């Protein structure tokens, strides 16, 4: 385990202590953000921050970085970004947000499939590192499968890992068949996570992919956990949230966090939304509420191919 992992394990921001100043103002009873164990033993907060759509307009960059900083202050110390987002602009926004606290943030970025070759992945990672103004990524993901053979990508990831430019690697948008192919490769089992579309209205992974990953103790990173905002307007979710005295976003996130191996990465550029999202671990979902949620947003009843955006 390296210094960053130790910092993540020890950091007070995993408990409300790290952000006590903010909590004590008007949010007295926030629960800790649960930790999720990665296969190498590092622990990351189950609630992080997404960055898609950030870094697209220079004028908004400072404001977006400030929004991320609010989330970091509140203990959401995992940031998900990608070379794709804002054409590198999102990574530059992240650089601003983490500049004075790199050691306490778990930085995830992703490589485009067309940049995932034996040499090109290394060059892409170095560009990401420059934009992020850091010397290493805590986690580097293949954004989705493309034409480059997986063996080449894994080889590049392993070389990046050996060089200390990434601490670990994983994949995104991989269905069971893709995971099986990956695991057939000599170093394929080093995969730390699979980042996939997962939220109340997209539960297809519960049929086969989630159990497959669970058997191998690979946590899932749930992207678009708020259904890109559209989920929050669904009347059934609004009604369930009202009964629970929570917001729809808190219920949607709290539901994902009911398991100990799911990491949710909601995106928001609005500090008020981020503060509200941070309340998700405090939402109690008793069995009756979970039954109501299952009735409104049923789990899959048959094999379902992986949905992706």
71: which 2 tokens? 């989330």
283: which 2 tokens? 């939402």
CA angle (144 as vertex; 139, 148 as ends), nearest 5: 100
Q: Report whether 96 contacts 72 (CB < 8 A).
A: no
Of the candidates 85, 140, 198, 223, the residue annotated as catalytic is 85
166: which 2 tokens? 């990434």
Q: At a CB cut-off of 8 Å and minimum separation 6, what does 20 contact? A: none
User: Would you say 145 or 165 has its CB closer to ligand NAP?
Assistant: 145
Q: What residues make contact with ligand NAP under the rule CB under 6 A?
A: 50-52, 80, 143, 172-173, 195, 223-229, 232, 249, 265-270, 273, 276-277, 309
CB of 192 to ligand NAP, least distance (A): 14
User: Would you say 9 or 27 has its CB closer to ligand NAP?
Assistant: 27
CB of 285 to ligand NAP, least distance (A): 17
Q: Report whether 226 contacts 253 (CB < 8 A).
A: yes
286: which 2 tokens? 């008793």
| Nearest by Cα to 94 from 126, 138, 64 | 64
Q: How far apart are CA 230 and CA 215, in angstroms?
A: 32
Q: Report whether 38 contacts 219 (CB < 8 A).
A: yes
140 labelled catalytic: no
User: Would you say 75 or 225 has its CB closer to ligand NAP?
Assistant: 225
User: Would you say 165 or 273 has its CB closer to ligand NAP?
Assistant: 273
CB of 238 to ligand NAP, least distance (A): 12
Q: How far apart are CA 124 and CA 239, in angstroms?
A: 45
User: Would you say 13 or 51 has its CB closer to ligand NAP?
Assistant: 51
Residues recognised as catalytic: 85
């Amino acid at each position: 385990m390296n210094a960053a992992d130790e910092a993540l394990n020890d950091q007070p921001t995993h408990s409300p202590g790290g952000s006590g100043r903010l909590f004590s103002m008007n949010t007295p009873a926030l629960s800790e953000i649960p930790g999720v164990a990665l296969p190498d033993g590092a622990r990351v907060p189950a609630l992080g921050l997404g960055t898609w759509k950030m870094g697209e307009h220079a004028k908004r960059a400072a404001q977006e970085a400030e929004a991320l900083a609010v989330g970091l202050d509140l203990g959401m110390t995992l940031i998900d970004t990608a070379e794709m987002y804002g054409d590198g602009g999102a990574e530059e926004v992240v650089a601003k947000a983490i500049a004075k606290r790199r050691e306490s943030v778990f930085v995830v970025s992703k490589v485009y499939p067309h940049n995932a070759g034996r040499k090109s992945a290394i060059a892409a990672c170095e560009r990401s590192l420059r934009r992020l103004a850091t010397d290493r990524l805590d986690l580097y993901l293949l954004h989705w499968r493309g034409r480059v053979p997986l063996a080449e990508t894994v080889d590049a990831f392993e070389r990046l890992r050996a060089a200390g430019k990434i601490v670990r690697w994983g994949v995104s948008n991989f269905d069971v068949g893709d995971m099986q192919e990956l695991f057939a490769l000599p170093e394929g089992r080093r995969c730390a996570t699979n980042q996939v579309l997962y939220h109340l209205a997209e539960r297809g992974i519960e049929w086969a992919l989630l159990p497959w990953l669970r058997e191998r103790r690979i946590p899932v990173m749930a992207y678009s956990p708020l259904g890109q905002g559209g989920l929050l307007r669904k009347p059934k979710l609004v009604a369930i949230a009202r009964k629970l005295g929570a917001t729809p976003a808190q219920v949607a996130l709290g539901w994902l966090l009911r398991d100990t191996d799911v990491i949710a990465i909601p995106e928001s550029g609005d500090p008020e939304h981020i503060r509200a999202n941070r309340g998700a671990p405090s939402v109690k979902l008793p069995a009756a509420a979970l039954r109501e949620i299952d009735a409104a947003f049923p789990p899959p009843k048959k094999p379902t191919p992986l949905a992706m955006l």
